[in-house]
Amino acid sequence: MRRIAFGRIAQESNSLSPVTTEFADFERTHLLQGDALLRACQPDGFEAPGFLRDAELSGFLRAVAARSGQIEAVPTLSAWAVPGGPIARATLENFKDRLTDQLRRAGPLDGVMLSLHGAMTATDTDEPEAEILAAVREAVPGARIAVSLDLHANLTPRKLEYIDVLAAYHTNPHRDHRKTGERAGAVLCDTLLGKIRPVSTWRSLPMVIGGGLTLDFLPPMLSVFWRLGSLERKVPGVLLANLFMSHLWLDTPELGWSVHVTTDGDRAQADRVADELADRLWAVRHKMPPDLPSADEAIAIARSARIRRKFGIVAMCDASDVVGAGAPGDRTELLDAALRRGKDLRWHMPIRDPDAIRALAEKSIGSRVSMAVGASLDPDRSRPVHVEGRLVRFDLTESFGRVAVLDLGHVQLVVTEGAALAMKPEFYLDRGLDPWQADVVVVKSFFPFRLYFARYIRKSIYVRTGGGTTDFDAWRQMSFARPTWPADPVQAWRPLDRARRAAWEAS
């Protein structure tokens, strides 16, 4: 019988956001320990309520169950917060202590399965996940460490130093969380059972953007994702093949795309497959994401979509303030444009403003409101907007704190205390707002809203309000440790990759 501890400390950090992620943000989203974690990851459990029934750790338990009687899975800690600014140091220390404490008390362990994101930063380090992994290794020195990562993870030598088995999502938008945990778990289990001898290699690409929209069902990435999946399924000897596309809002000099491949004992095969995948990624670096309309252009597009509005809604994503990618959610450009120049349209919009919520908590329902909203969390990037209207509703929610609805005439404004993804119809329905009654519904998610709002949406518009924390061209404000496309006119990836890996292997 082999024993494997499993757990998660995960958040996608937007290092441009000034809003630090605290312990309470994890408590609001997902925090489980011990037997509660084990129960949540069983086939009849709910691993991440409100988000996913089965995620990575449920997948890991499936891999364990498929080897019945040979592996014991030991639950530790699972913590997950919605994307936001860097993790506070005290919160990081808290989680490291909890996790290592559980590992030390778990009894003899042969392995550890950890679900991490791979693009987490903390207030004082770009590598909190390397710190977590180092602490795990120190707590259980003999145990092999398997890790599942988001495909927007930033692979670095500091992380790889501690990772024995690595699996990342094979889909974008991500919908294979469970499968990813199962892939990592299967390789870890079979390694411990002596059935396979995994050897891994990686490639570090000097590029931070490319692949167009990078969605797995659209060219140019469609064929790359197809090849990625078939390598694992169909090529004998390939245990795991992963690609990583940069999280665009991770301001670290080490940022870049990468490839990681594991084979059963064949280093030369791993090198061949890694080179092939790296070449495929390098070939799509010229495909940039599309240029997006401004707020006024977006309003004009929505206005002209008369027939579509008649039969449904126009969904508008403020692409400069996507909470699902870690933005504060307090930008006001779109609200200002809707109030002044979108008067012929009916709007449902969210804005995050804890200060406004404190003021609104003092008011009674139905009372008149004349106040400034927005730009209270990130005042350097937008300005408060003055609104006049009525307070029509005030609720307390579990996932984003207190929430108020302001009737501003043609705009129904949902003001939230915490980070609200505003990607499901329930965000509005639960506030008494029916999306069918709106012309334009504003969301703070890049893609998932398209699935959740599918029956309402007749047109989707991505708006660039500019200068936010989730702009596609954020790389223009960053500096990199080595020449990096497209900031530098890099012609070939191999020399830079070789130099980086040589430095790593020598250390």
Structure tokens, 248: 């665009």
Does 152 sit near Zn ion (CB under 5 A)? yes
Minimum separation from the CB atom of position 152 to Zn ion (A): 4
Minimum separation from the CB atom of position 153 to Zn ion (A): 8
Report the alpha-carbon distance of residue 277 to residue 241 in Å, rounded.
Answer: 9
- 462 to 97, 293, 472: CA distances (angstroms): 42, 7, 12
Minimum separation from the CB atom of position 149 to Zn ion (A): 9
DSSP bridge pairs for 460? 315
Name the H helices within 283-389.
Answer: 295-304, 306-311, 333-341, 354-360
Task: Name which of 217 and 436 has its Cβ closer to Zn ion.
Answer: 217
Task: Name which of 152 and 352 has its Cβ closer to Zn ion.
Answer: 152
Task: Name which of 152 and 331 has its Cβ closer to Zn ion.
Answer: 152
Site string for Zn ion, 296-315 (x = CB under 5 A): --------------------
Of the candidate spans 148-156, 277-285, 307-315, 414-422, the one that interacts with Zn ion by CB under 5 A turns out to be: 148-156
Q: What is the DSSP string of 65-100?
A: HTTTTTEEEEEEEEEE--SBSPBPHHHHHHHHHHHH
Minimum separation from the CB atom of position 13 to Zn ion (A): 12
Of the candidate spans 89-97, 146-154, 370-378, 474-482, the one that interacts with Zn ion by CB under 5 A turns out to be: 146-154
Report the alpha-carbon distance of residue 112 to residue 64 in Å, rounded.
Answer: 13
Of the candidate spans 16-24, 142-150, 214-222, 372-380, the one that interacts with Zn ion by CB under 5 A turns out to be: 142-150
Residue 360 φ/ψ, nearest 5 degrees: -70, -25
Residue 194 φ/ψ, nearest 5 degrees: 75, 15
DSSP bridge pairs for 260? 202, 242
Report the alpha-carbon distance of residue 18 to residue 451 in Å, rounded.
Answer: 30
Minimum separation from the CB atom of position 214 to Zn ion (A): 10
Minimum separation from the CB atom of position 226 to Zn ion (A): 19
Minimum separation from the CB atom of position 276 to Zn ion (A): 23
Angle at which helix 221-234 crosses helix 267-282, to 10 degrees, equals 170
Minimum separation from the CB atom of position 169 to Zn ion (A): 7
Of the candidate spans 143-151, 290-298, 325-333, 418-426, the one that interacts with Zn ion by CB under 5 A turns out to be: 143-151
Residue 326 in contact with residue 17, Cβ under 8 Å?
A: yes
Task: Name which of 150 and 333 has its Cβ closer to Zn ion.
Answer: 150
Task: Name which of 152 and 500 has its Cβ closer to Zn ion.
Answer: 152
Report the alpha-carbon distance of residue 310 to residue 438 in Å, rounded.
Answer: 10
Helix then strand then coil, % of the chain, to nearest 5: 35, 25, 40
Minimum separation from the CB atom of position 435 to Zn ion (A): 26
Of the candidate spans 63-71, 149-157, 218-226, 432-440, the one that interacts with Zn ion by CB under 5 A turns out to be: 149-157
Residue 208 in contact with residue 256, Cβ under 8 Å?
A: yes
Of the candidate spans 32-40, 145-153, 345-353, 459-467, the one that interacts with Zn ion by CB under 5 A turns out to be: 145-153
Of the candidate spans 51-59, 104-112, 150-158, 367-375, the one that interacts with Zn ion by CB under 5 A turns out to be: 150-158
For Zn ion (CB under 5 A), the number of binding residues is 2
The three-state secondary structure class of 459 is strand
Site string for Zn ion, 329-368 (x = CB under 5 A): ----------------------------------------
Task: Name which of 152 and 309 has its Cβ closer to Zn ion.
Answer: 152
Residue 120 in contact with residue 213, Cβ under 8 Å?
A: no
Minimum separation from the CB atom of position 151 to Zn ion (A): 6
Task: Name which of 258 and 416 has its Cβ closer to Zn ion.
Answer: 258
Which residue has its beta carbon closest to Zn ion?
152
Q: Which amino acid, one-letter code, is at 159?
A: K
In the range 58-87, which residues lie near Zn ion by CB under 5 A? none
Strand-by-strand arrangement of the 238-244 sheet: 198-205, 257-264, 238-244
Task: Name which of 150 and 176 has its Cβ closer to Zn ion.
Answer: 150
> Closest by alpha carbon to 210, among 467, 472, 493?
472
Minimum separation from the CB atom of position 114 to Zn ion (A): 17
Does 216 sit near Zn ion (CB under 5 A)? no
Task: Name which of 102 and 121 has its Cβ closer to Zn ion.
Answer: 121
Residue 493 in contact with residue 206, Cβ under 8 Å?
A: yes
Minimum separation from the CB atom of position 350 to Zn ion (A): 22
> Closest by alpha carbon to 6, among 37, 31, 48?
37
Report the alpha-carbon distance of residue 164 to residue 447 in Å, rounded.
Answer: 32
Of the candidate spans 34-42, 144-152, 399-407, 476-484, the one that interacts with Zn ion by CB under 5 A turns out to be: 144-152
Minimum separation from the CB atom of position 203 to Zn ion (A): 19
Residue 420: CB partners within 8 Å, gap ≥ 6?
Answer: 323, 329, 350, 352, 399, 400, 403, 414, 427, 444
Does 150 sit near Zn ion (CB under 5 A)? yes
Report the alpha-carbon distance of residue 33 to residue 40 in Å, rounded.
Answer: 10
Gyration radius of the chain over CA positions: 23
Does 417 sit near Zn ion (CB under 5 A)? no
Of the candidate spans 71-79, 147-155, 426-434, 496-504, the one that interacts with Zn ion by CB under 5 A turns out to be: 147-155
Does 177 sit near Zn ion (CB under 5 A)? no
| Chain residues that interact with Zn ion, rule: CB under 5 A | 150, 152
